[in-house]
């Protein structure tokens, strides 16, 4: 009996084990069929019967190459923020099409995906630059070959004409003299040999012309192909895609390069600066002429200015560095700020020179070479704030003088006596006093603050730039700079919230 029970139990265990194995296989087959149904549903919703990564590529506007494997498609999708494991997990759990990471509910860009975006964008820029160079090269090659053809045609016409002149003169080859004379072509030569020489050279030019036709056709085909690709890259749709890619690139730079010290080359420093959108003409930033370290120092300096004056973001012109007159650190105009390459190429030397100027009072006390950027961008503030018939720098200067007088500043002690001693006798006493007050306020900031522009007697732009740069950059701004700084801050505070 015991043996029979054991045999029964053994057979039942074997049978149940098989059933369990069958159940495992059944579950696996069910999951596979379910995944296939999900993939089919996803493919139908995403541009036809393609695999998931290729469907996502089409949805995101990524051009799928003929030789791509799914891995290549996933690599391209990483630039859009997709993660393969997350996509399949969402499909398995919800059975729903995953949302695009670029939709309003997108997740934050990871450093890995940001690096991929940076690499992809810079490769695209390199390809576009190469296309432009190749197109220009092909255009020049076509122009050169066409020029060579025209020259060959002229040569052929000339050689035929010379040969015909000899033939017309003697009537036939038999009548041409055989004795050698001085020839234009090769020295001593008979008339007959000269005639044959012209004919031979003409035959060579004629053959060369047929070769030029082939070269021109080849160059034209190459140029047309490159020109077509170039024009396609400049359509409105292509420009829109490029702008979107650039914005994505700027976003990636902020993630992968949180500081300028994290940038790997000068181009990344420039692009990281552009990513901040400080300037109204943001793409006009041009600092290629200076080195990597100098570019980082300048970018940090600009960050410092806009951190203190955020109201000017998007309102002022871009920064550039190029050759300026030897005694000029920088200048400002409607397009932006131009800094002198002579100084910004070698910051160590520039620092030493500026420190000497600060020590003798030519520039405000407590300022450094970084203050030059603040000075020039204060001119930009002056441009932004000034209106037709109303000078911002003059208004600030007038108010600063009145504020200092009311506070009992010692700057104006004895000003009336100084006015009486003035050599400008054509001015009234009141005008002389006002002029003396203005001079004392300006010279209290720096010698450069008293500089006039052109023939204008009351040009206060340099005073404003010197005083406000001291207010923003000096550790201990003095009386006049503090008064001017507070007045400027009050004016530009009104810009908050305005476009």
DSSP letter at 339? E
Q: In angstroms, how far is CA 5 from the centroid of its own chain? A: 86
- Statement: residue 313 has pLDDT above 70: yes
d(CA 122, CA 315): 28
CB 447, CB 361: distance < 8 Å = yes
- Statement: residue 397 has pLDDT above 50: yes
State the pairing for strand pair 336-340/318-322. Answer: parallel
Q: In the chain, what are the domain boundaries?
A: 2-97, 114-232, 346-493
- What per-residue confidence (pLDDT) applies to 42? 52
Mind listing the pLDDT tens digit for each residue in 77-136? 877 777 777 777 777 666 665 666 554 444 578 889 999 999 999 999 999 999 999 999
CB 397, CB 438: distance < 8 Å = yes
d(CA 32, CA 75): 25
Choices 1.20.81, 3.30.930, 1.10.287, 1.10.3470: CATH for 114-232: 1.10.287
Minimum mean pLDDT range among 85-94, 148-157, 299-308:
85-94
Helix ranges restricted to H, 98-235: 111-170, 191-232
Nearest to 354 by CA among 56, 193, 362, 166: 362
Helix ranges restricted to H, 283-346: 292-308, 341-344
pLDDT band with cut points at 50, 70 and 90 for residue 342: very high
- What per-residue confidence (pLDDT) applies to 464? 96
d(CA 204, CA 194): 15
The number of C-alpha atoms within 13 Å of 294 and in the hemisphere containing its C-beta is 22
User: Taking the C-alpha atoms of 25, 30, 35 and 38 in order, what is their torsion angle to the nearest 10 degrees?
Assistant: 170
Q: In a 10 Å sphere around its CB, with 0-12 CB exposed, 13-18 middle and 19+ buried, how is residue 463 labelled?
A: buried
Mind listing the pLDDT tens digit for each residue in 46-86? 444 346 777 777 777 777 776 677 777 777 787 777 777 77
Two tokens, residue 277 = 């959108």
- What per-residue confidence (pLDDT) applies to 56? 79
Full-prediction pTM beyond 0.75?
no
Q: In a 10 Å sphere around its CB, with 0-12 CB exposed, 13-18 middle and 19+ buried, how is residue 405 labelled?
A: middle
3-state secondary structure of 57: helix
- What per-residue confidence (pLDDT) applies to 459? 75
d(CA 213, CA 81): 52
The number of C-alpha atoms within 13 Å of 267 and in the hemisphere containing its C-beta is 7
d(CA 122, CA 115): 11
The CA-to-CA distance between both ends of the chain, in Å, stands at 98
């Amino acid at each position: 009996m015991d043996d029979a029970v054991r045999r029964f139990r053994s057979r039942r265990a074997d049978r149940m084990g098989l059933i369990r194995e069958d159940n495992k296989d059944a579950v696996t087959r069910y999951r596979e069929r379910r995944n296939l149904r999900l993939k089919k549903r996803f493919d139908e919703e995403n541009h036809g019967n393609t695999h998931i990564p290729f469907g996502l590529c089409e949805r995101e506007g990524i051009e799928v190459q003929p030789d791509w494997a799914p891995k290549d498609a996933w690599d391209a999708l990483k630039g859009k923020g997709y993660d393969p494991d997350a996509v399949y997990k969402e499909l398995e759990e919800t059975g729903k099409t995953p949302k695009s990471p670029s939709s309003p509910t997108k997740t934050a860009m990871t450093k890995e995906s940001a690096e991929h975006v940076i690499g992809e964008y810079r490769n695209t820029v390199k390809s576009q630059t190469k296309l432009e160079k190749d197109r220009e090269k092909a255009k020049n090659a076509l122009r050169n070959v066409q020029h060579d053809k025209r020259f060959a045609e002229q040569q052929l016409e000339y050689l035929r004409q010379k040969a015909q002149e000899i033939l017309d003169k003697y009537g036939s080859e038999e009548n041409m003299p055989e004795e050698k004379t001085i020839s234009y072509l090769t020295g001593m030569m008979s008339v007959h040999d000269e005639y044959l020489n012209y004919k031979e050279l003409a035959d060579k030019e004629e053959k060369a012309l047929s070769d030029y036709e082939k070269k021109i056709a080849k160059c034209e085909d190459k140029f047309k192909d490159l020109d077509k690709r170039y024009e396609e890259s400049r359509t409105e749709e292509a420009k829109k895609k490029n702008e979107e890619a650039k914005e994505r690139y700027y976003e990636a730079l902020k993630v992968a390069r949180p500081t300028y010290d994290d940038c790997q080359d000068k181009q990344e420093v420039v692009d990281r600066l552009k990513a901040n959108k400080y300037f109204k003409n943001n793409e006009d930033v041009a600092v290629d002429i200076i080195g990597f370290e100098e570019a980082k120092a300048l970018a940090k300096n600009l960050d410092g200015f806009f951190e203190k004056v955020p109201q000017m973001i998007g309102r002022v012109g871009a920064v550039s560095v190029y050759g300026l007159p030897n005694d000029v650190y920088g200048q400002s105009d409607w397009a932006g700020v131009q800094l002198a390459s002579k100084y910004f190429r070698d910051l160590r030397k520039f620092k030493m020179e500026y420190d000497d100027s600060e020590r003798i009072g030519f520039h405000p006390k407590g300022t450094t070479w970084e203050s030059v950027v603040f000075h020039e961008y204060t001119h930009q503030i002056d441009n932004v704030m000034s209106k037709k018939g109303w000078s911002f720098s003059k208004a600030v200067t007038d108010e600063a003088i009145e504020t200092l007088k009311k506070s009992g500043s010692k700057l104006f002690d004895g000003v009336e006596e100084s006015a009486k001693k003035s050599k400008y006798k054509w001015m009234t006493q009141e005008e002389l006093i006002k002029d003396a007050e203005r001079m004392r306020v300006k010279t209290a900031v720096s010698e450069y603050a008293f500089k006039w522009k052109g023939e204008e007697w009351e040009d206060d732009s340099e005073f404003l730039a010197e005083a406000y740069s001291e207010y923003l950059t000096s550790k201990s701004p003095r009386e006049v700079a503090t008064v001017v700084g507070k007045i400027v801050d009050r004016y530009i505070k009104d810009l908050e919230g305005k476009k």
